[in-house]
Amino acid sequence: MGLVEARNLPSHVAIIMDGNGRWAQLRGLPRAAGHREGSKAVRRIVRAARRLGLKALTLYAFSEQNWARPEDEVDALMGLLRDYLLSERNEILENGIRLNAVGNLGRLPALVRAVLDPLRRETSDNSQMTLTLALSYGGREEIADAAKEIARRAVSGDIDPEDVTPETMHSLMPSLKSGDPDLVIRTGGERRISNFLLYGLAYAELHFADVLWPDFSEADLHEAIASYQLRERRFGLVGSGATVTRIAI
């Protein structure tokens, strides 16, 4: 595993896969070519995550805001998504991976739903690793949906507004069914969160990689995890001093 320690692995890693467009632009290619290369990186990183033994991997594949991109780019992304699900189906089944999807799935075209829905059903009892694709996803939208559900329950008398806690909200977040993300990686050099997993990010460690997503390698994933393993997570409590010692020696 090189840099990575087998113990103290993050349980849930989430990735903002950014930089496909620039990868293509640098080569004078259409943006769709960058997404095609990006889907090869998805295959590579899902395999690497499985080899490491991560329990959950969440990939930001398409945001709610991405629908406003040019139609041919949206179509290319939907086609790649379908191709990915079709080509990886056997490997997902053979390796005990649970394939999940979060977001406004009702907006996805039928050609994607036709392969996504059966695969979600067929893998729902798998437990080696949960691979969650965030599709037509927005963090604010997910929070608003949870608020809507709580309001409905309050109106129907199923919940007293005074009893609403952070845990109530958490239980209504589909993106956090595998637990909060421990480590969020963003590729492509930008340092922002772009409406990803907002509620679950409370105590996540963030890693920004300058490499464009199509070039993101297994070694880059290991580097991100190794950097996570050097950090001391405090969850709002006081530290153990371990980090200070490490810096001093």
Among 18, 180, 182, 223, indicate the residue that binds ligand FPP (CB under 6 A).
18
Among 138, 181, 188, 200, indicate the residue that binds ligand FPP (CB under 6 A).
188
Among 9, 76, 80, 112, indicate the residue that binds ligand FPP (CB under 6 A).
80
Task: Measure the CA–CA gap between 55 and 22, rounded to whole angstroms.
Answer: 31
- Rounded to the nearest 10 degrees, what angle do helices 71-94 and 31-52 cross at? 20
Task: Measure the CA–CA gap between 47 and 84, rounded to whole angstroms.
Answer: 13
Among 12, 35, 98, 186, indicate the residue that binds ligand FPP (CB under 6 A).
35
Indicate whether 17 belongs to the interface with ligand FPP (CB under 6 A): yes
* Residue 98 near residue 167, CB atoms below 8 Å: no
Q: Is 155 exposed, middle or buried (0-12, 13-18, 19+ CB in 10 A)?
A: exposed
* Residue 64 near residue 134, CB atoms below 8 Å: no
Indicate whether 57 belongs to the interface with ligand FPP (CB under 6 A): no
Q: Are strands 56-63 and 183-186 parallel, antiparallel or unpaired?
A: unpaired
Indicate whether 81 belongs to the interface with ligand FPP (CB under 6 A): yes
- Compose the 146-185 pattern: x for residues touching ligand FPP by CB under 6 A, - for all others: ----------------------------------------
Chain contacts with ligand FPP (rule: CB under 6 A): 17-22, 35, 38-39, 42, 59, 61-62, 66, 77, 80-81, 84, 133, 188, 213
